[in-house]
Structure 1
Amino acid sequence: MNSLPTPRSRLAVALLASCLLPLNSWAADDAASIRALVDTAIRPLMAEHDVPGMAVAVTLNGQAYFFNYGVASKENNTPVSEATLFELGSISKTFTATLASYAQVLGKLSLDEHPGKYMPQLQGSAIDKASLLHLGTYTAGGLPLQFPDGVAGDQMVAYFQQWKAETAPGALRRYSNPSLGLFGHVAALALKSDFADFMEQQLLPQLGLRGSYVRVPENKMANYAWGYNKANKAVRVNPDIFSDEAYGIKSSSADMIRFVQLNIEPSKLAGPMRRAVEATHVGYFKTGDMVQGLGWEQYAYPVSLPRLLAGNAQPGTMEADATTKLTPPQAPSGATLFNKTGSTSGFSNYAVFVPQQRIGVVMLANRSYPVPARIKAAHAILRQLAPMVK
């Protein structure tokens, strides 16, 4: 038989409710406000660039919010969800950097070492004058954006053996898939593992990312969006030299906002992985307003839209820019914005966060569209999130 609540118990329930209601009200108000500002930024972008589908995730005050638009496949009319897999493109480099950083934390490699230590075939070559740090920060001496046409996978070593540097290591920064790819390849060798195996079996699980892959398993293919290129053709990425290391991760907005949250609060991770994530926030070279770390690119916050656009300008991925080494390497001393763009022929993405504000945005899209449009939308969202920080 149930007893009736006593006056004291009724008072306790009332007090508990009075404490909970404002919190629930705040959460509801935040969700509605965030939905409005995300819609305002994203819907016009999708219309202007004919984007079939987008998954947007926002983190504010430790809470994740998800906003899904359009379809993952125009042919099947599959709606986008926070579980939809998108090709991250070069945002994958932040995972490669975390893997290399983890190898360093474990004592398996040092950023001061040279690739020839792990690939004896490269000893004595120009590329072996560069350190692993130079490879991880695109400062090896002028490696190109992509491997030249005609260089097949079995010719990777020969390419690096004959490569000629434009400058001494550390003098210029040129964004480069071969550079970051070699960095990730050497890190996997140091760990005595295949890169994709270690990423899928060790790194991603330790980060709690259960829906992210280098090689999408057959039972998850239904979640894998189709990308749409400039000709509006459905496409997916093709394997190539260092594609796994440089642009090969497929992930969801649910996993990516978790990754952002872990970068905002690495203390939530166990010791070695926490130190690995923290180490990717150290800056090594400064180019204009941007500080280059391992994977992530940094700006003093708040950062104006013109400065952020300049640092993420498309020519910066093609041309070499003079750079200055930070001695000693620079851990963020104040509010800092971290960001990374990523694209494949059919996908366009952006991840950005400010740890000190505990705010971040992930934008994943299955259409190739310009970088500036992503930056403008995310900057507008961030700017309006800032006053909501509690």
Structure 2
Amino acid sequence: MLKRPFKCLPLFLALASPAFAADNATRLRAVVDAAIGPLMAEHGVPGMAVGIIVDGQPAVFNYGVASKEHGTPVGPETLFELGSISKTFTATLAAYAQAQGKLGWEDHPGKYVPQLAGSAVDRATLRELGTYTAGGLPLQFPDDVTNEIDWLRQWQAAAPPGTQRRYSNPSIGLLGHVAARALGQDFGTAVETRLFPGFGMRHSHVKVPAAAMANYAWGYNGDGRPVRVNPGAFDAEAYGVKSTATDMLRFLQANIDPGRLETPLRQAVAATHVGYFDMGPMVQGLGWEQYPYPVALERLVAGNSPKMSREANPAKPIAPGSLPAAPVLFNKTGSTGGFGAYAAFVPARKIGIVMLANKAYPNEARVKAAHAILTQLGQPVP
């Protein structure tokens, strides 16, 4: 639960005179428009919601349509699929369970899923599942998998745990499955009843209820056809959250200033900010990926490149707490068949951005647009 609710308003607020606030709202809109307009035009994105945090204060800017067929404009309650940004909630749920003494990071999955005891995946710790270093689990489950646990029981590792990072839905999906079991709930219920209320996220879902379907945007695939995410193995845990830009700003605000949260959730957020493996361009934590700030665009692009998401890369362990006490940018991308998203924030600068789109488009384009906006947000206001 929140000690006091975050406010997330549709207009930029400044702690100054109304005229000053209006001037800065105009400036902020111009910065966002300059980056988002060309991006949407180049990649044929029908609609976007862009949330910005400056000095801890939120703003949301909506563009285009949530449905091309009906011409429905993107609005404050438009739901977008987050894709793999959902993994940050999965990591937070596991950290929440750990903060309550329900699981330990050095535990092995077989402790909570007895069918996996003694298997190759059971050699990995829960921390290694959450950092994609369990031994080479693939990006996706094979298409014909109908039982995730049966498949994981038969899986054979390609490397010892903790030696290589291979970005993986099965890896963090299993962590989410374990966390939910430790809490005595199914994953979707645990996220919707424990995390979303605690962050003040009133319009976010794992399973969109009938009452909210009218706000659920249609995504568009490469052929321009309307699509929504299909059920799949560990889909809720790996890529299942649907949210609004306003709610996602509440989540980023809580990550920027977790001191407002109740103790278990505050501890959970802090746990997801710890870096565990040096991957060259970025540091891998639980859910979030980290960069020193300010960060060069080339480094941010490299950290979000296909090499990092589709290949196995050597992982250099970092002793917790050994990273320099310098500003850090946290980020995560996410995609489904018809949606593309990006989120980033810098706690030390009290700035953040979330970009939600109803079309998947290249990560590099997302990163470039966000970097351009954040670079200007990080400058002192004249």
Q: Does 1:65 align with 2:59?
A: yes
Q: 1 or 2, which has the higher helix percentage?
A: 1
The Cα shift of 1:324 comes to 0.7
In structure 1, what residue type is equivalent to 2:349?
Q
Kept in 2, the 8 Å contact 1:61–1:389? The answer is: no
Partner of 1:10: none
**Judging changes above 3 Å, is the alpha-carbon distance between structure 1 residues 389 and 115 closer, same or farther for their aligned structure 2 residues?**
farther
**Judging changes above 3 Å, is the alpha-carbon distance between structure 1 residues 95 and 76 closer, same or farther for their aligned structure 2 residues?**
same
Structure 1 residue ranges without an equivalent (≥5): 1-19
Task: Pick from 160, 174, 199 the counterpart of residue 182 of structure 1.
Answer: 174
Partner of 1:125: 119
**Judging changes above 3 Å, is the alpha-carbon distance between structure 1 residues 33 and 296 closer, same or farther for their aligned structure 2 residues?**
same
Kept in 2, the 8 Å contact 1:264–1:354? The answer is: yes
Question: Helix, strand or coil for the counterpart of 1:387?
Answer: coil
Kept in 2, the 8 Å contact 1:60–1:359? The answer is: yes
Q: Does 1:107 align with 2:130?
A: no
CA distance in 2, matches of 1:124, 1:381: 49
**Judging changes above 3 Å, is the alpha-carbon distance between structure 1 residues 60 and 322 closer, same or farther for their aligned structure 2 residues?**
same
In structure 2, what residue type is equivalent to 1:304?
A
Runs of 4+ aligned residues of structure 1 deviating over 4 Å after TM superposition are 329-332
Question: Helix, strand or coil for the counterpart of 1:299?
Answer: strand
CA distance in 2, matches of 1:191, 1:22: 45
Matches within 5 A, 1:1-390: 22-152=16-146, 155-330=147-322, 333-388=325-380
The Cα shift of 1:354 comes to 0.5
Kept in 1, the 8 Å contact 2:217–2:358? The answer is: yes
In structure 2, what residue type is equivalent to 1:54?
M
The Cα shift of 1:22 comes to 4.8
Listed one character per residue, the Cα deviations across residues 99-153 of structure 1 (whole Å, up to 9, x for unaligned) are 000000000000100000001111111100000001000000100000012111x
Listed one character per residue, the Cα deviations across residues 266-285 of structure 1 (whole Å, up to 9, x for unaligned) are 01111111111111101111
The Cα shift of 1:331 comes to 6.4
Kept in 2, the 8 Å contact 1:358–1:389? The answer is: no
Percent identity of equivalent pairs? 60
CA distance in 2, matches of 1:316, 1:365: 22
Kept in 2, the 8 Å contact 1:127–1:161? The answer is: yes
The Cα shift of 1:161 comes to 1.3
**Judging changes above 3 Å, is the alpha-carbon distance between structure 1 residues 174 and 26 closer, same or farther for their aligned structure 2 residues?**
same
Kept in 2, the 8 Å contact 1:108–1:191? The answer is: yes
In structure 1, what residue type is equivalent to 2:83?
G
CA distance in 2, matches of 1:359, 1:280: 18
Relative to the length of structure 1, the TM-score reads: 0.92
Kept in 2, the 8 Å contact 1:284–1:329? The answer is: no
The Cα shift of 1:326 comes to 0.8
Q: Greater CA deviation, 230-239 or 20-29?
A: 20-29
In structure 1, what residue type is equivalent to 2:129?
L
Structure 2 residue ranges without an equivalent (≥5): 1-13
What is the number of residues matched between the two proteins?
Answer: 369
Question: Helix, strand or coil for the counterpart of 2:320?
Answer: strand
CA distance in 2, matches of 1:214, 1:332: 36
Partner of 1:6: none
Give the structure with higher Rg (CA): 1
Kept in 1, the 8 Å contact 2:169–2:234? The answer is: yes
Q: Greater CA deviation, 124-133 or 195-204?
A: 195-204
In structure 2, what residue type is equivalent to 1:212?
S
Kept in 1, the 8 Å contact 2:274–2:320? The answer is: no
CA distance in 2, matches of 1:171, 1:22: 51
In structure 1, what residue type is equivalent to 2:282?
M
In structure 2, what residue type is equivalent to 1:111?
W
Kept in 2, the 8 Å contact 1:282–1:330? The answer is: no
Question: Helix, strand or coil for the counterpart of 1:349?
Answer: strand
The Cα shift of 1:303 comes to 0.4
The Cα shift of 1:317 comes to 1.1
**Judging changes above 3 Å, is the alpha-carbon distance between structure 1 residues 89 and 72 closer, same or farther for their aligned structure 2 residues?**
same
